[in-house]
Amino acid sequence: MINTDYQYIGIDDWAIKRGQKYCTLICDLVTGKPIDVLPDRSYEVISEWLREHPEIKFISMDRSITYSGAVKRELPGARIVADRFHLVYN
């Protein structure tokens, strides 16, 4: 059975073609396994995915305005945590 009850997730983007094409990876922070790969890092795509997962309570991510805006709108009760890498290196 596939778990679809994700309460702790991590979101980050990566460049398929640096400067031109980015995707978004969403991981389950409990298992450390990927949950989904989204086709881009747009507000609309992130918002739609979050809307389908109201069970999420904590999200680790960089300080992207796009990500934080989508989380605040779709999951206002979720806690946003800046991940250690981006906090130190950005």
Where are the domains positioned within the chain?
8-89
For residue 1, the model assigns a pLDDT of: 41
Per residue in 32-81, pLDDT (tens digit) is 999 999 999 999 999 999 999 999 999 999 888 999 999 999 999 999 99
The answer, yes or no, to whether residue 31 has pLDDT greater than 60, is yes
Buried b (16+ CB within 10 A) or exposed e, 56-78: beebbbbebebbeebbeebbeeb
How is domain 8-89 classified at the CATH fold level?
Answer: Nucleotidyltransferase; domain 5 (3.30.420)
Note the pLDDT of residue 85. 66
